[in-house]
A = this chain, B = another copy of it.
Amino acid sequence: MMAKAVILSTGDELITGRVVDTNSAYIADKLYGLGIEVIAVFKVGDTRERLLWALQHGVELGELVIGTGGLGPTTDDLTTEVVAEFLGRQLQMDEGVAEALRRRFTSRGVEMTPNNLKQALFPAGADIIPNPVGTAPGFRAATQDRKYLIWLSGVPREMEVMLEQSVLPWIAEQRKGTGAILASTFKIYGLTESKLGEILKPIPISDEVRLSYRAHFPDLSLRLTVRGGAEREKIFSELRARIQELIGSYIYAEGDETLEEIVGRLLLEKSWTLALAESCTGGYIGHRITRVPGSSAYFKTSAVTYSDDSKIRFLGVQSATLKQHGAVSRETALEMAEGVRRQAEADIGLSVTGIAGPTGGSPEKPVGTVWMALARDKESDARLFRFQGDRERVILFASQAALNWLRTSLLAGQNSSDGG
């Protein structure tokens, strides 16, 4: 019932490291949504031998093989003839496609070379897959043992259109009657991957129920997928509930929303504005906040005050505070948060000051020591964090902790009335 697929990405540029292959992930994601399992992705160069190898092993492992690349007019574009050889068929000119190519060149006033007509050749008996945004159409053909081969342009924009318009509807039609995969993604704050795995051990894993983890530092997410028969909706909702029970307090989103998107959404809901005073994070929190489209509605400023005198000048931190307690202290963090909130006339002021390293640490304040403070109308609060790792990790950790603190405080303040 076409449940298993293999994706072939072809082209010399892929195996020499010049180009990152994004096509296979795009296709895999779409197939996954239709309940098709991708068994493997093969990337091979443009040679007859490698293409034949990939086709052979593709149909061994999958009932459906989707390939991209090598449909162009140049001599290194071998795909169509190699696929025809693999299928044991002749190449045949499609008059409709040839005519469309001729018209295309005429309308552009460009002379068509004989090479270009190569793109109107297809394995005999194949169904042509139109390419509305480029010159090279794709095709679909069945092998003798009823496996399907689909070949698309390797240009991502063309591949995407061909997939959406022709391939996915055809697959959906073939798979009518089988159930889709149920999936949910949980985004996690405050657990390491190993700790998460430990806590989730009670969840029974099987061919039908899978948990996959993704650590894209400092982000950690978990995906639950359930496939199978009529019971799957019940099993899926039971497992979701079980996951919530086990790690609910660490889940900040179910779905793909990022911490900065959540913070933005909560600020918008309250019509509150935010100002930041960043020291060790150097502008990274401001960057995360502002990479969300529409953030200008709630974000006023980030004063990245790296030097002591910037903290005094831009934020009104007392020089006595800096002298007495140091730049990395509860007192300085509080004055920074309150200062930026006041100067920017924002509803919330958040400050971060710490030692990102590699130098600047001391026994009492080692590298990774970070003070943060949150200032609102009638209350301010400061917290101490100790992060592990190199400079980059401390910065990423600190930005994650700051955004999560903002998130929880915005949620906790749902009934508060100190916002403007």
Contacts of A343 in B (CB 8 A): 313-314
Q: Which of A291-348 contact B (CB under 8 A)?
A: 291, 293-296, 299-307, 309-310, 313-314, 343-345
CB pair A155 B215 closer than 8 Å: yes
CA distance A387 to B298 in the complex (A): 25
Contacts of A285 in B (CB 8 A): 283
CB pair A195 B76 closer than 8 Å: no
CB pair A193 B72 closer than 8 Å: yes
CB pair A287 B283 closer than 8 Å: yes
Q: Which of A7-52 contact B (CB under 8 A)?
A: 11-22, 24-32, 38-46, 50
Stretch at the interface among A169-177, A388-396, A407-415: A388-396
CB pair B214 A18 closer than 8 Å: yes
A210 in the interface, Cβ–Cβ < 8 Å? yes
Chain A positions 262 through 297: 1 when the CB is less than 8 Å from some CB of chain B, otherwise 0: 000000000000011010111111110111011110
Of B22, B50, B307, B314, which contacts A39 at CB under 8 A? B50
Task: Please classify how large the interface on chain A is, using the bins under 10, 10 to 19, 20 to 34, 35 or more.
Answer: 35 or more
A416 in the interface, Cβ–Cβ < 8 Å? no
Contacts of A41 in B (CB 8 A): 14-15, 21, 41-44
CB pair B291 A286 closer than 8 Å: no
CA distance A301 to B305 in the complex (A): 5
Q: A113-B195, A302-B304, A343-B313 are in contact. Are A212 and B359 (CB under 8 A)?
A: no
Chain A positions 209 through 236: 1 when the CB is less than 8 Å from some CB of chain B, otherwise 0: 0111111110000010100000000000
Contacts of A281 in B (CB 8 A): 287, 290
Closest CB in chain B relative to A353 CB, distance in Å: 12
A378 in the interface, Cβ–Cβ < 8 Å? no
Contacts of A210 in B (CB 8 A): 12, 76
CB pair A43 B17 closer than 8 Å: no
A74 in the interface, Cβ–Cβ < 8 Å? yes
A133 in the interface, Cβ–Cβ < 8 Å? yes
Return the chain B residue nearest A22 by Cβ. Answer: B20
Chain A positions 63 through 100: 1 when the CB is less than 8 Å from some CB of chain B, otherwise 0: 00000000011111000000000000000000000000
Return the chain B residue nearest A118 by Cβ. Answer: B194
Return the chain B residue nearest A368 by Cβ. Answer: B108
Contacts of A57 in B (CB 8 A): 57
CB pair B16 A38 closer than 8 Å: yes
A246 in the interface, Cβ–Cβ < 8 Å? no
Q: Is the interface of A mostly helix, strand, loop or mixed?
A: mixed
A103 in the interface, Cβ–Cβ < 8 Å? no
Contacts of A293 in B (CB 8 A): 357-359, 391
Stretch at the interface among A122-130, A137-145, A196-204, A247-255: A196-204
Return the chain B residue nearest A20 by Cβ. Answer: B25
A116 in the interface, Cβ–Cβ < 8 Å? yes
Closest CB in chain B relative to A118 CB, distance in Å: 9
A383 in the interface, Cβ–Cβ < 8 Å? no
Closest CB in chain B relative to A8 CB, distance in Å: 10
A241 in the interface, Cβ–Cβ < 8 Å? no
Of B46, B73, B157, which contacts A194 at CB under 8 A? B73
Which 7 residue pairs across A and B have the least CB separation, nearest first? A17-B29, A283-B286, A282-B290, A283-B283, A74-B197, A17-B28, A73-B194
8 further A-B pairs in the complex, CB-CB below 8 A; given A15-B40, A282-B302, A290-B356: A17-B26, A19-B216, A278-B283, A282-B283, A291-B391, A303-B303, A313-B344, A313-B345
Residues of A within 8 A of B (CB): 11-22, 24-32, 38-46, 50, 53-54, 57, 61, 72-76, 107-108, 110, 113, 115-116, 133, 135, 155, 157, 192-198, 201, 205, 210-217, 223, 225, 275-276, 278, 280-287, 289-291, 293-296, 299-307, 309-310, 313-314, 343-345, 356-360, 388-392, 395
